[in-house]
């Protein structure tokens, strides 16, 4: 039996080269059982004409399928589904059914319903995306990342990328972080004091699980990163939200029974304040007096383009009291999911064992690609390129914000990628964001960052890491108009 050429079609929004799409159509037909062993494929000429592609494209696709034993060729008579082609499943699909399980009883612990708001997946389609924490494809060094990924996929690195590391990490990446990344933050750490994580979020989660339980008290900044509150909620610890001021977390406000202090000294999240040196020392003194630990989330330190960043709080730590969280997700791209934890070996050993249980290790290929990208200096070049773009955008943002009389409530002293904004007291920025959405303006309401039930509703965050320079002024104008 011959497979009719009409069963092939190049659907419009498909991916890959024409050749790959033809291969895929044939493979899918075989795997789904639509094409059976021994059936004859359309001729290369016939299929090429039907699809409106060149004959060589079809020939190349068939040749590839031949090599993988999906097809066989019978001299001049053409191509057939190979006798060794994979068999489709022989059992029928079960009909749709309704669960008889009572999930409200079966689920022991619920994790849905946290503080972290749902963010739009389709932010890139907004004309004015003042969204935080996403990538600007125009800034990323796509070509060199690709080269590094290729190198990591090369024969030499192959075992590094494919093997099961059990609870270990890529030694190249750990070595680079120890020798180059951490020294730039004033931190010296041995490999046993470093753990690679699936982004900063995973680092914070691991830390919380190791250090907290129902009896312990965690102090968090208020406002703070909403996902951190979700994470702490899951550890069931007691929570003390501490209101921040312009200089970040005030050490004197920490309760006497605090066990762990979560802080963002470089850029307070979300207000962007930078903690001055005097307060850093005061915070360390207070933690020592309380015998509390400090978890320092040093996010965005690499976005210090206005002046060189202050060393990390961890660099001042003589007690082993500070656990440091770093990330490449912001500066490379968030889909990378690569961060690291730095702390005393005793702590890292527990975090490592927990990570091994939860996920073993971050994928080898990702670790090795990042190691190459860092080692070849592309990362630093990228940071400098981003810094130039962010400097320009920040200037345009500030000008437009001033022009329209909007109020900046917090901004990074060293740089950063966002402003913390304050609307007039009567404004609910969640409602404002909804109205702006219709005008293709994406802003982030501030309420989810705050702890407690009575939270201020008139703050919002405006980031400039993804919005093109020439759209900023119009976007700010639309926000100002909506506020009037």
CA distance readout (Å), 369 to 145, 161, 341: 8, 9, 19
Give the x-and-dash track for 173-192 against a copy of itself (CB under 8 A). Answer: ------xx--xxxxxx----
Q: Which helix (H) or strand (E) holds 463?
A: strand 459-463
- Is the CB of 329 or the CB of 458 nearer to a copy of itself? 329
Q: What is the C-alpha to C-alpha distance for residues 363 and 369, in angstroms, rounded to an integer?
A: 10
Q: Does 10 bind a copy of itself (CB under 8 A)?
A: no
Give me the least distance between CB of 401 and a copy of itself, in Å please: 25
Q: Does 24 bind a copy of itself (CB under 8 A)?
A: yes
Exactly one of 358, 402, 431, 481 binds a copy of itself (CB under 8 A); which one?
358
Q: Which of residues 34-73 bind a copy of itself (CB under 8 A)?
A: 65, 68-70
DSSP state of 316: G
Give me the least distance between CB of 229 and a copy of itself, in Å please: 10
- Is the CB of 123 or the CB of 245 nearer to a copy of itself? 123
Question: Terminal CA-to-CA distance of the chain, rounded, Å?
Answer: 71
Give me the least distance between CB of 84 and a copy of itself, in Å please: 7
Among residues 350, 329, 70, the alpha carbon closest in space to that of 209 is found at 350
Exactly one of 159, 307, 453, 470 binds a copy of itself (CB under 8 A); which one?
159
Q: Does 12 bind a copy of itself (CB under 8 A)?
A: no
Q: Which stretch binds a copy of itself (CB under 8 A): 82-90, 248-256, 271-279, 470-478?
A: 82-90
Give me the least distance between CB of 361 and a copy of itself, in Å please: 7
- Is the CB of 163 or the CB of 426 nearer to a copy of itself? 163
Give me the least distance between CB of 297 and a copy of itself, in Å please: 15
Q: Which of residues 104-123 bind a copy of itself (CB under 8 A)?
A: 106-114, 116, 118-119, 121
Exactly one of 39, 127, 165, 238 binds a copy of itself (CB under 8 A); which one?
165
Q: Does 205 bind a copy of itself (CB under 8 A)?
A: yes
Q: Does 236 bind a copy of itself (CB under 8 A)?
A: no
Burial of 138 (0-12, 13-18, 19+ CB in 10 A): exposed
Q: What is the C-alpha to C-alpha distance for residues 364 and 359, in angstroms, rounded to an integer?
A: 13
Q: Which of residues 364-423 bind a copy of itself (CB under 8 A)?
A: 364-366, 372, 375-378, 380-381, 383-384
Give me the least distance between CB of 428 and a copy of itself, in Å please: 23
Exactly one of 44, 57, 201, 417 binds a copy of itself (CB under 8 A); which one?
201
Count residues contacting a copy of itself (CB under 8 A)? 143
Exactly one of 6, 52, 77, 91 binds a copy of itself (CB under 8 A); which one?
91
- Is the CB of 99 or the CB of 454 nearer to a copy of itself? 99
- The tokens of 125 are what? 């389609």
Strand 407-411: give its sheet, edge to edge. Answer: 407-411, 418-422, 459-463, 444-445
Exactly one of 1, 11, 83, 164 binds a copy of itself (CB under 8 A); which one?
164
Q: What is the C-alpha to C-alpha distance for residues 396 and 474, in angstroms, rounded to an integer?
A: 11
Residue located via tokens 């059914």: 97
Among residues 347, 366, 324, 372, the alpha carbon closest in space to that of 198 is found at 366
Q: What are the residue ranges of helices labelled H in 32-120?
A: 44-51, 55-67, 103-106
Give me the least distance between CB of 275 and a copy of itself, in Å please: 16
Residue located via tokens 């994928």: 363
Q: Which of residues 326-345 bind a copy of itself (CB under 8 A)?
A: 329, 333-338, 344
Torsion (CA) 249, 254, 259, 261 in degrees, nearest 10: 0
Q: Does 353 bind a copy of itself (CB under 8 A)?
A: yes
Torsion (CA) 393, 395, 400, 402 in degrees, nearest 10: 150
Exactly one of 7, 54, 162, 391 binds a copy of itself (CB under 8 A); which one?
162
Helix (H, G, I), strand (E, B) or coil at 449: helix
Tell me if 238 sits within 8 A of 257, measured CB to CB: no
Give me the least distance between CB of 402 and a copy of itself, in Å please: 30
Q: Which of residues 268-307 bind a copy of itself (CB under 8 A)?
A: 288, 291, 293
Exactly one of 133, 241, 456, 468 binds a copy of itself (CB under 8 A); which one?
133
Q: Does 256 bind a copy of itself (CB under 8 A)?
A: no
Residues 6+ apart with CB under 8 A from 71: 26, 41, 62, 65, 79, 80, 81, 82, 85
Q: What is the C-alpha to C-alpha distance for residues 285 and 116, in angstroms, rounded to an integer?
A: 32
Exactly one of 360, 395, 431, 481 binds a copy of itself (CB under 8 A); which one?
360
Tell me if 173 sits within 8 A of 361, measured CB to CB: no
């Amino acid at each position: 039996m011959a497979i009719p050429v009409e069963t092939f079609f190049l659907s419009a929004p498909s991916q890959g080269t024409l050749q790959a799409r033809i291969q895929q159509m044939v493979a899918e037909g075989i795997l789904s059982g639509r094409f059976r062993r021994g059936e004859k494929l359309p001729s290369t000429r016939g299929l090429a004409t039907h699809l409106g592609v060149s004959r060589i494209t079809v020939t190349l696709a068939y040749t590839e399928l031949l090599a993988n034993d999906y097809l066989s060729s019978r001299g001049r008579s053409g191509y057939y589904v190979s006798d060794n082609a994979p068999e489709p499943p022989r059992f029928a699909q079960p009909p749709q059914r309704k669960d008889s399980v009572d999930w409200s009883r079966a689920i022991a612990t619920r994790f849905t319903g946290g503080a972290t708001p749902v963010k739009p997946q389709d932010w890139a389609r907004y004309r004015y995306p003042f969204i935080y924490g996403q990538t600007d494809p125009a800034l990323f060094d796509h070509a060199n990342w690709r080269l590094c990924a290729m190198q990591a996929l090369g024969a030499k690195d192959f075992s590094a990328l494919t093997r099961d590391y059990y609870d270990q990490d890529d030694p190249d990446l750990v070595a680079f972080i120890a020798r180059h990344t951490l020294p730039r933050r004033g931190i010296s750490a041995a490999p046993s004091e470093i753990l690679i994580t699936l982004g900063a979020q995973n680092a914070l989660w691991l830390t919380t699980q190791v250090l907290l339980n129902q009896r312990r008290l965690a102090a968090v900044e208020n406002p703070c990163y909403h996902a951190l509150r979700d994470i702490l909620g899951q550890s069931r610890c007691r929570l003390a939200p501490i209101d921040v001021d312009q200089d970040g977390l005030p050490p004197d406000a920490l309760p006497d029974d605090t066990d762990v202090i979560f802080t963002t000294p470089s850029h307070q999240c979300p207000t962007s304040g930078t903690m001055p040196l005097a307060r850093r020392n005061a915070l360390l003194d207070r933690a020592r007096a309380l015998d509390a630990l400090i978890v320092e989330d040093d996010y965005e330190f690499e976005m210090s383009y206005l002046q060189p960043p202050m060393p990390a709080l961890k660099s001042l730590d003589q007690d082993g009291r500070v656990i440091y969280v770093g990330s490449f997700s912001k500066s490379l791209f968030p889909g990378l999911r690569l961060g690291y934890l730095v702390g005393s070996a005793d702590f890292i050993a527990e975090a490592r064992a927990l990570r091994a249980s939860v996920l073993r290790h971050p994928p080898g290929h990702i670790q090795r690609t990042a190691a190459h990208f860092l080692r070849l200096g592309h990362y630093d070049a990228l940071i400098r390129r981003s810094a130039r773009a962010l400097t320009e955008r920040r200037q345009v943002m500030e000008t437009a914000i001033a022009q329209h009389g909007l109020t900046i409530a917090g901004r990074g002293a060293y740089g950063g990628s966002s402003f913390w904004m304050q609307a007039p007291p009567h404004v609910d920025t969640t409602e404002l964001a909804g109205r702006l959405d219709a005008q293709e303006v994406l802003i982030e309401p501030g309420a989810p960052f705050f702890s407690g039930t009575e939270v201020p509703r008139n703050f919002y965050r405006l980031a400039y890491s993804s919005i093109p320079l020439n759209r900023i002024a119009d976007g700010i104008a639309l926000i100002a108009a909506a506020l009037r």
